[in-house]
Amino acid sequence: MNELYDAVMVLHVLAALAGFGSLAATGGYAGPAGSSPPTPAARRYFAPGANRVAWTLFAVPVLGVVLLALHRFHPLRHPYPWVGIGIWLASAAIASIWLWPAERAIKAALAAPAPRDSRLIAVATRRCQRAALATSIGFVVALFFMAVQPG
């Protein structure tokens, strides 16, 4: 049981690091993508195609439920899993509503032939940066609650 719990915990943490890290990276590369001209690194990051690493964000609650089940759901009596679930829901909503659509807009703008619509790119880069900042703050708060496990 301990080995299984440890393995699932490692996967849970890795999924959170990869998923939330990918959101932060998108925000980090958004600024250079909006510069004139965009940096080569930003062009590579926003190349056409799906950001599959970001999808690991959806493994976080699944693995969290497995961890809760391995503890027979006793941690649900404490606030920390609820805080984690709430932050994950908010982060997934922020990514789905603002970050990923803005990411797609940046990709489309960078793939389009010149001249590029600089206003569209400016709006998309600001949205990416703000959404990434919000999800990063949420990640740090959730990490604190998961580590300290108050209650």
pLDDT tens-digit map of 1-52 = 689 999 999 999 999 999 999 999 999 999 999 888 899 999 999 999 988 9
Mean pLDDT of 84-108: 95
Mean pLDDT of 51-61: 94
Q: Which two tokens stand for residue 12?
A: 């849970």
The whole model's pTM is what?
0.91
Which pLDDT belongs to residue 76? 87
DSSP 69-113: HHTTTGGGGSHHHHHHHHHHHHHHHHIIIIIHHHHHHHHHHHHSP
